Amino acid sequence: MTTATHKAQWLRDNQKPGEVYAGLILGEKGEPDHHLFVMPGETKGVTFQQAQKWAKEQGGDLPTRREQSLLYANLKEHFQPAWYWSCEQHASFSDYAWSQYFGYGSQYDSLKSFEGRARAVRRLIIE
């Protein structure tokens, strides 16, 4: 069996309908930690709290900042050139959370009351 055949079988076994495989996220020591899938659909005009709630309703989560970097690198074409919420709040300022701009790839902290977009992700943990 070829490597391509193995990969195709792995995707059939692990990817849910409508999802797009984004790639592998490494852990703290550089070892594979989890696979990342972008779930179908998105929402727009939502605050940070609304985005979190929406992602949970889809059965997923908002991506981390690291995951958003991977999404920009591997799946930019699946996003509008707009700001998308991450799940990460700013460490020093509780009124702010992080977002990713999919037009040119920057990340920025925004007031949680800002109305941006959201995509949900699913993580497949490697054990």
> For the segment 40-99, what is each residue's pLDDT rounded down to a tens digit?
999 999 999 999 999 999 999 999 999 999 999 999 999 999 999 999 999 999 999 999
Answer whether 117's CB lies under 8 Å from 44's CB.
yes
Query: In this predicted structure, what is the pLDDT of residue 1?
Result: 65
Query: In this predicted structure, what is the pLDDT of residue 28?
Result: 83
List CB contacts of 71: < 8 A, sequence separation 6 or more: 22, 36, 38, 63, 78, 79, 100, 102, 119, 121
Answer whether 121's CB lies under 8 Å from 22's CB.
yes
Domain that residue 28 falls in: 3-125
Query: In this predicted structure, what is the pLDDT of residue 4?
Result: 76
Where are the alpha helices (H) located in 1-127, listed in sequence order? 3-14, 48-57, 65-75
CATH classification at residue 49: 3.10.100.10
Instruction: Please count the structural domains in the chain.
Output: 1
